[in-house]
């Protein structure tokens, strides 16, 4: 797996993220994940905790980028932002068993940072989940999913995203599951052409 792609400028640009097509997991006419993938994609608990358990605590986070940028148009729309507004965009790789398992992206509108959440700018190599799931009053919107897309900057098998609200201030978390994770967990890859 070429990790340079995850660290490239193309990986954070809004045009790359607009290549992904998001849907409800129950939308008609779309490929649905099998039961094993469904469990990983739709589980509302902390992905960080699940990956730590799956990796037998051999787990780490590498921040690959963090910038103030315009999010992808579909991200801005989901967050209720104007297409020209800026957000803090943070991207990380979550490693299990020293293999890249998940590529994650967080889009935090500046209004969310200004609503008492500036500490989210200083996570470094800590996972966002280690902070988010400490809040008792956090709300999570329904999860959307996407599948492998050959036009996207990096290889992944399935992805999920959802909005979290902290004190009614939204942020968007996207998690793309990578092939080494599927291999480790004996999860099926998608058929060629998907």
In a domain, 191, yes or no: no
Q: Known binder of ligand: residue 88?
A: no
**Within a domain: 193:** no
Kindly report whether the global pTM for this prediction surpasses the value 0.85: yes
How many angstroms separate the most distant Cα atoms in the chain?
46
Q: How many domains does the chain have?
A: 1
How many whole angstroms separate alpha carbon 27 and alpha carbon 32? Answer: 8
Residue 128 assigned ligand-binding role: yes
**CATH number for the domain harbouring residue 180:** 3.40.1410.10
Encode 111-125: b = buried (16+ Cβ within 10 Å), e = exposed.
ebbeeebeebeebee
In-domain check, residue 127:
yes
Residue pLDDT, tens place only, 90-132:
999 999 999 999 999 999 999 999 998 898 889 888 888 888 8
Domain that holds residue 116: 4-185
190 occurs within a structural domain: no
Give tens-digit pLDDT for 155-185: 899 999 999 998 889 999 999 999 999 999 9
- Report CA-CA distances (Å) from 119 to 108, 115, 116, 133: 12, 11, 8, 15
On whether residue 192 sits in a domain, the answer given is no
Could you tell me how many helices (H) and strands (E) the chain has, helices first?
Answer: 8, 7
Q: Is 139 annotated as a binding residue?
A: no
């Amino acid at each position: 797996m070429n990790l340079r792609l995850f660290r490239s400028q193309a990986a954070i640009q809004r045009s790359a993220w607009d290549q992904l097509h998001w849907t409800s997991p129950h939308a008609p006419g779309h490929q649905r994940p099998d039961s094993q993938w469904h469990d990983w994609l739709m589980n509302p608990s902390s992905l960080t905790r699940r990956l730590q358990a799956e990796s037998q605590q051999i787990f780490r986070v590498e921040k690959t980028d963090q910038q103030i940028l315009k999010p992808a148009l579909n991200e801005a729309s989901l967050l209720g932002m104007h297409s020209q507004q800026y957000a803090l965009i943070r991207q990380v790789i979550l490693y299990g068993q020293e293999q890249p398992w998940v590529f994650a992206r967080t889009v935090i509108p500046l209004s969310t940072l200004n609503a008492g959440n500036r500490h989210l700018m200083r996570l470094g190599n800590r996972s966002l989940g280690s902070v988010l799931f400490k809040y008792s009053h956090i709300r999570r919107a329904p999860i959307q999913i996407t599948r492998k897309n050959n036009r996207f900057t990096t290889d992944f098998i399935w992805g999920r995203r959802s909005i979290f609200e902290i004190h009614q201030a939204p942020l968007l978390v996207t998690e793309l599951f990578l092939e080494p994770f599927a291999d480790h967990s004996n999860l099926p890859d998608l058929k060629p052409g998907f």
